Amino acid sequence: MVENNAVFWKVFFRRALQVLVGLLLFMVVFFLSAGRVDLPRAWFFFGLYVISLLFNMVILLRFNPEIIRSRSEMKWGEMKWWDKLFAVLYFVFLFLIFIVCGLDAGRLHLSSTGMGFLAVGVMMFFVGWVFVVWAMVENRFFETAARVQMERDHRVVSTGPYAIIRHPGYAGMILFYGCAPFIIGSLYGLIPAVLLAFAFVFRTYFEDRMLYEELSGYKEYTKKVRYRLVPFVW
């Protein structure tokens, strides 16, 4: 038991380090692009990001610690071609969001956005965060790679947010990352944010088809929950 606990905490700190390094890279890229650090709205965004990460860890430790282990590993060899392509697009567009926002807000000053824009961004952040964490708590199969996890007795999850749409985690991530241009104050940052959203749509389409063909019970689930990302739309 002690050994198992030691292994878990090793994995936990590895995942925490991965997340922390990712956050630091976003901040470095943003502030280098901006050429300055006196940007209150940017610090507000990154502050929200840090708080959300802390809450994520606490909630997942309490309700679904297994997912911390599974999300700390990237099973690149088991990923399908479209998932590998998504992984590349995901990182490219995500970093482009912070590069463009940094250039716009810090150097070029092309956008002029008020408090209403900020308020929309905060709402998007909160709703996106809730859906992402809710999906991770409800679905112990929420890995970084899209695959049917036969070794873990993969089954259909149809409770919680999965009773609303079939891919609530992805819908939440679109909002969670897409809120950055709103909060920081960059209209041009919306361009890579929209591209990132389309990348998630791309992954959702192929993952949904894979699950339909390979996961027992998923075909029946699609008849019950009709929409993938947006209720009454798609």
DSSP string, 153-196: T-----SGGGGT-S-HHHHHHHHHHHTHHHHHT-STTHHHHHHH
For residue 50, the domain's CATH number is 1.20.120.1630
Q: Into how many domains does the chain fold?
A: 1
Tell whether 213 is covered by a domain: yes
Tell whether 201 is covered by a domain: yes
Whether residue 37 contacts residue 28, with contact meaning beta carbons closer than 8 Å, is answered with no
Residue 1 reports pLDDT greater than 60: no
Tell whether 233 is covered by a domain: no
| Average per-residue pLDDT for the chain | 90
Confidence of residue 4 (pLDDT cuts 50, 70, 90): low
**For the segment 209-224, what is each residue's pLDDT rounded down to a tens digit?**
999 999 999 999 999 9
Nearest to 137 by CA among 173, 178, 168, 175: 168
Residue 163 reports pLDDT greater than 50: yes
Residue 3 reports pLDDT greater than 70: no
Confidence of residue 61 (pLDDT cuts 50, 70, 90): confident
User: Is residue 111 classed as helix, strand or coil in its secondary structure?
Assistant: coil
pTM of the full predicted structure? 0.89
**For the segment 21-54, what is each residue's pLDDT rounded down to a tens digit?**
999 999 999 999 999 999 999 999 999 999 998 9
Confidence of residue 2 (pLDDT cuts 50, 70, 90): very low
d(CA 210, CA 7): 32
Tell whether 234 is covered by a domain: no
Expressed as residue numbers, the domain containing 200 is: 2-224
